[in-house]
Amino acid sequence: MDYSFYDFLKLLGSLALFLYGMKIMSEGLQKFAGDRLRRILTAMTTNRVTGVLTGMLITALIQSSSATTVMVVSFVNAGLLSLTQSIGVIMGANIGTTVTAWIISALGFKVDIAAFALPLLAFAIPLIFSHRSNRKSIGEFLFGFSFLFMGLAQLKSNAPDLEANPDMLAFVQSYTDMGVFSILLFVFIGTVLTMIVQASAATMAITLIMCANGWISFELGAALVLGENIGTTITANLAALTGNTQARRAALAHLVFNVFGVVWVLCLFKPFTEGVSWLVDTLFGAQDPAVAVSFKLSAFHTCFNVCNVLIMIWMVKFIERTVCAIIPQKEIDEEYRLRFISGGMLSTAELSIVQAHQEIHLFSQRTHRMFNLVYELLHTEKDDDFNKLFSRIEKYENISDSMEVEIANYLNQVSDGRLSSESKLQIRTMLREVTEIESIGDSCYNLARTINRKRQTNQDFTEKQYDHIHFMMKLTDNALAAMVDDLKYPEQQSRDPRDIINKAYNIEHEINNYRNQLKTQNILDINSKEYDYQMGVHYMDIICECEKLGDYVVNVVEACFDVTKEKKA
């Protein structure tokens, strides 16, 4: 057989070039339209029909159903999409991914697109070196597009010539005439192959080449396509392994949807493939055999996914109940660990920012809760209750330190990925937010320690001191509550960022003025013997720590909305 190991390596290298081109093309488009994609996903999933259309649009745009489903799983994990909404988007992604097969069929087999690849790179080079983020992303897209079709051309040229190698043809054909078993075998091969390369478009390209070269029949190519639809779900399921329960359910819904589709098509395999073949022959007429079979496979891929969506769109609630039964909600206290991000597999760098942002919002909620515990500690009288509550605040402080480090490490990992300049700016902003929120946690712990020291003196504040402390804590609590609310979705705030920052400044000025007023009053009260000097120290420590905490809140809001203002400018 005249096919050496060197030839085999060239075949693998061609596949690598194809996969790399697809990755670069997809990343370039995601960076160019990253924020737009996020807005489209959250705004256009109000019902199952718009969800399907959104999934189709985004997948057709970025040419990767895996990227779309990983994006959806990330958004479900971050709480931006519900499980029901995610199922609709995943259905649409399955239709959108069929565009790739049509592009390859129409261009890859009829037009020598690889001949245009090198000239296209000449146009892409100046864009790649542009200082503008959008132009650089377009340049990356053109590079990826060129590499993809160069890889496809190399795949076709480096595939073994079966006519010159009858031994290999005999090997392939020995598994093609076993009836139903052959179809099931090729479904399995398509599944495993797609799981290995983690790109259904790549296995689709290989399938098109195998059928065009006459290795296998259209029917067995269709069986491979069915397997590819199951195999492509592996990426989202891997991404969901470290996610929360809802994220794992969304990934499983993708698998359930595709497996159900494959099962019913296998039951009607012969009439379904014959119907697709007749449709292509009727619409396109006589064609070159290689082109005809590629059109039939592309049509089969599209018809399968469209029919599956038309059937399953009425069963969204059933799919939801099924995945909820398979993956029940665990009654685990997730209070003391990261909820939206973990040290596991990252989704695409651009989309990981959403997860990090949700984790920072949760971090702010926890520090706000920690401040409420401090207020409760101030009025706890029983020793056992006081010690338990103080230990709880101490535990929150340790968690706060750990969360700062873990989120910062995650953001550093994300920053190693391919990011637009806007996303790099966001990461710097989020690192600043995390540092300031951790400082809020430190202030809460300092307040608790001051209350503990006051308790050990066996003295208590006067009623007037308590009134002042209550009012100062109320002002601080208002500042924290506003910060937590502002951090929720800063990019979707309808208010002007300047109004939000001004509101934070106003609360901070009120806190500062009240602190200055109490400082002066404290000296007068000590001189008039209303309380001793030591109680005055504890009293002013609490007041001043609240004022310092207010400064940290302003720093968080400034960091958050300065970047939003820059992006909108």
166, pLDDT greater than 60: no
What would the mean pLDDT of 416-426 be, rounded to a whole number?
77
If asked whether residues 225 and 119 sit together in one domain, one would say yes
More confident residue, 28 or 359: 359
Q: What is the pLDDT, as a whole number, of residue 337?
A: 55
**Burial class of residue 334 in the structure, from the number of CB atoms within 10 Å of its CB (0-12 exposed, 13-18 middle, 19+ buried):** exposed
In 185-290 the beta strands, taken as DSSP E runs, fall at: none
Report the domain count for the chain: 2
What would the mean pLDDT of 189-209 be, rounded to a whole number?
75
More confident residue, 139 or 209: 139
Which CATH number goes with the domain that contains 514?
1.20.58.220
Contacts of 259 (CB under 8 A, 6+ apart): 230
- Please report whether residue 336 resides in a domain: no
- Please report whether residue 337 resides in a domain: no
If asked whether residues 412 and 283 sit together in one domain, one would say no
Coil, strand or helix: which one is 129? coil
- Please report whether residue 310 resides in a domain: yes
* Cα gap 552→547, rounded to integer Å: 9
In one-letter notation, the amino acid at residue 249 is: R
If asked whether residues 511 and 558 sit together in one domain, one would say yes
* Cα gap 447→545, rounded to integer Å: 7
pLDDT confidence tier of residue 117, bands split at 50, 70 and 90 = confident
* Cα gap 78→426, rounded to integer Å: 17
If asked whether residues 423 and 289 sit together in one domain, one would say no
Q: What is the pLDDT, as a whole number, of residue 205?
A: 76
Q: Are 287 and 295 in contact (CB under 8 A)?
A: yes
If asked whether residues 129 and 15 sit together in one domain, one would say yes
315, pLDDT greater than 80: yes
Contacts of 528 (CB under 8 A, 6+ apart): none
- Please report whether residue 10 resides in a domain: yes
pTM: 0.54
If asked whether residues 228 and 90 sit together in one domain, one would say yes
- Please report whether residue 343 resides in a domain: no
Last residue of a domain, one of 276, 293, 326: 326
If asked whether residues 440 and 524 sit together in one domain, one would say yes
Which of 65-74, 341-350, 395-404, 454-463 comes out lowest in average pLDDT?
A: 341-350
Q: What is the pLDDT, as a whole number, of residue 30?
A: 65
pLDDT confidence tier of residue 475, bands split at 50, 70 and 90 = very high
If asked whether residues 353 and 321 sit together in one domain, one would say no
If asked whether residues 304 and 399 sit together in one domain, one would say no
Coil, strand or helix: which one is 430? helix
Q: Which domain holds residue 371?
A: 349-568
If asked whether residues 256 and 402 sit together in one domain, one would say no
Last residue of a domain, one of 266, 291, 326: 326
Last residue of a domain, one of 264, 294, 326: 326
If asked whether residues 132 and 174 sit together in one domain, one would say yes
If asked whether residues 64 and 157 sit together in one domain, one would say yes
